[in-house]
Amino acid sequence: MRSTYRRLTAGLLVALCLACGGESDSDDPSGPRVALLTSGPVSDAGWYAGAYEGLLRIEEEFGAQVSHQQTATPAEFDEAFLAYATSGYELIFAHGNEYQDAAIRAGEQFPDVTIIVSGGGRISENVAPLIFRLEEGSYLAGMAAAAMSESGIIGMVGGVAIPPALGTFRAFEAGARSIDPDIEVLEVFTGDWNDVAAAKEAAVAQLSRGADVLIHNLDAGSFAVFQAVREAREAGRTAWAIGMNSNQNDVAPDVIVGSAVIRIADAFVETTRMWQAGEVGGEPIYAATRQDVIDFVFNPELIDQVPPEIVARVAEARNLIRSGDLDVPRVPFIEGETGGQ
């Protein structure tokens, strides 16, 4: 009974929001109708914030009518797809691997609606995964982490151990070992992208084991990792953090040495352009270093504390990735994929 009430409530909230025009709504009725679904808050200064920025740019650059909904459960995913599709939304960005099954169901029910699933692994004629090759940025981050570490121990704090997240950590580890083959790499997944308490506990535990550089693959939980590193520094430790999913250098400029960046908004805009040209559907869309969507960006506030030779080596590795001469480790997760692009 409680789950039925929750589904009905979620559907009613989506319908009410759509009736009111969503969080943002263009006055141009001729523009495309574009929606965004996230399972976490767009205030995370990372994964979800980048997607919302992309939605606003689509509104501005294409004269689109746009709407955003935060949905937490598979039942709410289904309700939101239904509400948007029946309200005339033509393009839906479902920002996360967790949406892939609901997207396939919605795609079968609404063949005239195109659904883009960030980090998805399933494909149909109107459902396309948008694959961010973030492992290319995290490889470069690993190089920086190994160079900055004094203890020879670095740490990785993740949310849910889905293949895209695992891929970023495998690449981070490989990048670190390209600088220091003997470096020790700690890894933990908290089971939740946004659980601040769990992220803080995991970060403190890694710092207590000697790690002095921490990278995360979290959403709102990332703030706790940065705070744990800040507290370690205040206690007299040498410790650094590395941002992930967007340029987080300004979030904690005193402790973040650099960020593995996805320029999500750029990818959303280009995907919308492809969709308008009829070029989306039936195959994955890849966004990588060569499109300048993925990168590692040193924090300009702390760049004077980074050895110049490592800045040069990261730049060289970035160019090799772009040219295809450096193959970064990947974890395949698309149906039928064996190696990836």
Give how many domains the chain has, as a whole number: 2
Residue 268 pLDDT > 90, yes or no?
yes
Q: Where residue 26 falls among pLDDT bands split at 50, 70, 90?
A: very low
Read off the pLDDT of residues 223-258 as tens digits, 9 standing for 90 and up: 999 999 999 999 999 999 999 999 999 999 999 999
Residue 278 pLDDT > 70, yes or no?
yes
Q: Where residue 264 falls among pLDDT bands split at 50, 70, 90?
A: very high
Q: To the nearest whole percent, how much of the chain has pLDDT over 90?
A: 88
- Lowest mean per-residue pLDDT among 27-31, 219-223, 307-311: 27-31
For residue 218, CA distances in Å to 10, 39, 196, 255, 326 come to 25, 13, 10, 17, 27
Q: Concatenated DSSP letters for 75-120?
A: HHHHHHHHHHHHTT--EEEE-SGGGHHHHHHHHHH-TTSEEEEET-
**One domain, residues 279 and 198:** no
Residue 340 pLDDT > 70, yes or no?
no
**One domain, residues 42 and 101:** yes
Which domain range does residue 56 map to?
Answer: 2-132+265-289
CA–CA separation, 327 and 263 (whole Å):
21
Residue 153 pLDDT > 70, yes or no?
yes
The pLDDT assigned to 2 comes to 32
Helix runs in 195-307, H state only: 196-208, 222-234, 264-276
Mean pLDDT of 316-329: 97
Read off the pLDDT of residues 96-133 as tens digits, 9 standing for 90 and up: 999 999 999 999 999 999 999 999 999 999 999 999 99
The pLDDT assigned to 336 comes to 63
CATH of the domain at 153: 3.40.50.2300
**One domain, residues 319 and 202:** yes
Read off the pLDDT of residues 169-209 as tens digits, 9 standing for 90 and up: 999 999 999 999 999 999 999 999 999 999 999 999 999 99
The pLDDT assigned to 332 comes to 87
pTM over cut 0.85: yes
Residue 97 maps to a domain:
yes
Mean pLDDT of 151-164: 96
Using alpha carbons, select from 249, 25, 242 the residue that is nearest to residue 147.
242
User: Strand, coil or helix: what is 70?
Assistant: strand
Residue 7 pLDDT > 60, yes or no?
no
**One domain, residues 213 and 119:** no
Residue type at position 235: A
The pLDDT assigned to 281 comes to 87
Mean pLDDT of 155-161: 97
Strand 256-262 versus strand 294-298 pairing type: antiparallel
Read off the pLDDT of residues 324-338 as tens digits, 9 standing for 90 and up: 999 999 998 787 655
The pLDDT assigned to 29 comes to 63
Q: At what angle do helices 163-179 and 308-323 cross, to 10 degrees?
A: 130
Residue 143 pLDDT > 50, yes or no?
yes
Residue 330 maps to a domain:
no
**One domain, residues 258 and 270:** no
**One domain, residues 317 and 172:** yes
Average pLDDT, the chain: 91
The pLDDT assigned to 22 comes to 47
Residue 335 maps to a domain:
no
Residue 152 pLDDT > 60, yes or no?
yes
The pLDDT assigned to 27 comes to 52
Residue 301 pLDDT > 90, yes or no?
yes
3-state helix, strand, coil split of the chain in percent (to 5) is 45, 20, 35
**One domain, residues 21 and 118:** yes
